[in-house]
Amino acid sequence: MVHTATAVLLVAASSLIVMQNKQIITTGPAPVGPYSPAVKAGGFIYVSGTLAQDDAGALVGAGDVGAQTRRVIERMRDLLEAAGTTLDQVVSVTVYLKNAGDFPAMNDAYRTYWTRDPPTRTTVVADFVLPGALVEISMIAVPAGAERTVIHPENWMRSPNPYTYAIRTGDTVFLSGLVSRNGRDNAVVKGDVTTQTKVVLDNAGELLETAGLTHAHVVSSRVYLPDVAHFQEMNAASRQYFPSAPPARATVQAALAGRDYAIEITLVASSSKKEVISGGRPANPNLSAALRAGTRVYLSGILGNTPETKGDAAGQTRETLARIRDLLTAAGLTPADVVEGVVYLTDVGNFGAMNQQYRAFFERDFPARATVGTGLVAADGLVEIMMTAVKP
C-alpha cells in the first residue's frame, strides 16, 4: 500500500520506508535502541553500528572475533541489498574492536568480503552495549552505479591491511583513519603527538591533492587519542592545517590497533562550497560547530556537560540535543533531517538514560547510529554526539 506521505515497500523480511528526505531500511533483528538499521539519503546509504546478532537478536560467535566479523558484515550486506546496493559500493567503514589484539583475526575475516578496492576504513578500540560483543561496524555506501573512485598517490604503497586510503564519490572524498606512517613505504614514523599529527595531516594533504582538493575542503574530522592529555598539542598542530573554517570535529579517547601510534584521524572532504554554521556558539579555532557542504550539514561532536548536569547522563544528553537542535535550526533543518550519527558514552551503563532523551528528541524515523564506549576530552563529560544531516 502506498500512502501520500509514506510509501512502504516490503522486500522479503525487510522493509524500506520512503519519506520526503530519507528512506529507512530495516531487516534482521530489531534495533536495541532508537536508531534505524540503515538510512538512505542524499545519495548515500548510512548503515548503523552493527553487532553479531542472529535474527532473534542473540549475540553469536562467542569469543570468536572472526565469526562475529563475518556475521556483522553479512547482516550489513542484507541491509545494503534491501537498499538496492552491494558491499562493492561501500565507501567508508568504521570498525570498533573490544580488544586491540583481535585486529589480525578481524582483518582475516574482513578481507574476504572485498577482493579488490576495499572501502576506506578506521579501526579503533571501544566498549559495547551488548556483553560479549567483540566487534561493531558502521558503514557508508553509495547506490548501485554511483561513482566510486579510488584515490591513491602514484608513489604510495598499497596498504598492507584491507582498506583503501581514499575514495571519491560525487563531491565527497572519504579518507581512511590515518596514522603516522610513510605513505611511500608504510614505515612507522615515530614521535610525539605533535610530530604524528603533522605526519597524518601531511599524508591527508597528499591524498586530497591527488583528488584535486586541499585541506580547506575538509568538512568533517574524527580524532582518536589514546591519551587525551595530548589534546592541546594535537589542537596546536592541527590549527596550522586549518587556519580558517576548520572542519566539524569530534575528539575522543580510544586505544588504536597499533601501539606505535599516538593519534588516528579520519577526514571527509567536499568540493562543494563550505558554509560555517555557528548556531550562536562562540567561534572555536579548532573546529566549526557545523559546516554545510552541498546538501549535507556536518555537526561537530556536541557535549552537554554543565554544572547543572554534572554526573547526570540523561541531563547531559538532553542538553547536548538542545544544542544540536539550535545548530539544525540555524542551518534551516529539523531533527527529521538527521541521517546518521555516533554516540560516545564514557560508561555504556548509561545507554538507557541516553536513549530515553534521544528517543524523545527524534520521536520517530530515527537516523542510523553507532553507540560505543570511549573516553571523552571533557573530564566531566558523559556523552558526546556527532551527527550528519541532509537538506531536503
Q: Is the pLDDT score of 94 beyond 70?
A: yes
pLDDT band for 5, please (50, 70, 90 cuts): very low
Shared-domain flag, residues 19 and 136: yes
pLDDT at residue number 12: 33
pLDDT at residue number 392: 77
CA-to-CA separations, 108 to 69, 75, 100, 112, 165, in angstroms, rounded: 9, 18, 14, 7, 19
Summarised one tens digit per residue, pLDDT across range 193-228 is: 999 999 999 999 999 999 999 999 999 999 999 999
Shared-domain flag, residues 142 and 154: no
Pairwise CA distance, residues 201 & 90, whole Å: 24
Show Cβ contacts of residue 232 under 8 Å, excluding neighbours closer than 6 positions: none
Q: Is the pLDDT score of 11 beyond 80?
A: no
Cell numbers standing for residue 331: 542551518
In total, how many domains does the chain have?
A: 3
Q: Calculate the dihedral angle through the C-alpha atoms of 352, 353, 357, 359, rounding to the nearest 10 degrees.
A: 10
Is residue 285 in some structural domain? Answer: no
Shared-domain flag, residues 164 and 137: no
Is residue 287 in some structural domain? Answer: no
- Pairwise pLDDT comparison (16 vs 53), residue with the higher score: 53
Please write down the HEC assignment for all residues of 213-251.
Answer: CCHHHEEEEEEEECCHHHHHHHHHHHHCCCCCCCCEEEE
Shared-domain flag, residues 105 and 38: yes
User: Considering the entire predicted model, what is its pTM?
Assistant: 0.94
Q: Is the pLDDT score of 70 beyond 70?
A: yes
Among 146, 180, 208, residue at a domain's last position: 146
CATH of the domain at 189: 3.30.1330.40
Query: Could you give the percent of the chain with pLDDT greater than 70?
Result: 95
| Mean pLDDT calculated for residue range 114-134 | 97
CA-to-CA separations, 338 to 13, 40, 308, 335, in angstroms, rounded: 26, 11, 27, 5
| Mean pLDDT calculated for residue range 278-284 | 90
Is residue 141 in some structural domain? Answer: yes
Q: Give the domain extent around 370.
A: 294-392
Summarised one tens digit per residue, pLDDT across range 179-193 is: 999 999 999 999 999
Q: What is the mean pLDDT of the chain?
A: 94
Pairwise CA distance, residues 250 & 244, whole Å: 17
Strand order in the sheet with 248-253: 149-151, 166-169, 172-175, 264-270, 218-225, 248-253, 375-376
